[in-house]
Amino acid sequence: MSVSVSFQDFVLSRLTASTAVIGLVSDRIYDGPPASPVFPYISLGPTDLRIVDAECVSSREETLQIDCWTRKNGRKWPCKKIVDAIISALRGATGDLTDGDLVGINIEFSRVLDDPDGITAHGLVQVTGMIDEAWENG
């Protein structure tokens, strides 16, 4: 598999297991939303990683942006509710990944802003996972 895919799968499993998240967006959590999505929904945004190896430990910090989208005549409060539910579902999470061990998740920042269309609110939650990978020599 892939450490990056394992981390994304972990995040998705935490979001889909959260009654607060599902209560707000139902099953509309996408890695690539459909062409005409039903609002509100969550989609996965850009990712990046930084290798932070230490002696005998292969580690990375992987950052994932989670986007949420609401359409209530430009009101931001529905989007803020989803942002808070995402934060609650992921804050401080740890666990075994298919590839690697998630030492912890930090919430780097969140933001809710107006979409240029005037009726959509866009929320962003940026999370960073500290991941220990299996050490491979050779």
CA distance 100 to 136: 12
The pLDDT, as a whole number, for residue 74 is 85
Q: How many C-beta atoms lie closer than 10 Å to residue 103's C-beta? A: 13
What average pLDDT score do residues 30-44 get?
Answer: 97
CA distance 125 to 107: 7
pLDDT grade for 78, boundaries at 50, 70 and 90: very high
CA distance 73 to 50: 39
Q: Is the pTM of this model over 0.85?
A: yes
**Is residue 29 within 8 Å of residue 85, measured between CB atoms?**
no
What average pLDDT score do residues 97-116 get?
Answer: 95
Domains of the chain: 3-133 (3.30.2000.10)
Q: Is 36 exposed, middle or buried (0-12, 13-18, 19+ CB in 10 A)?
A: exposed
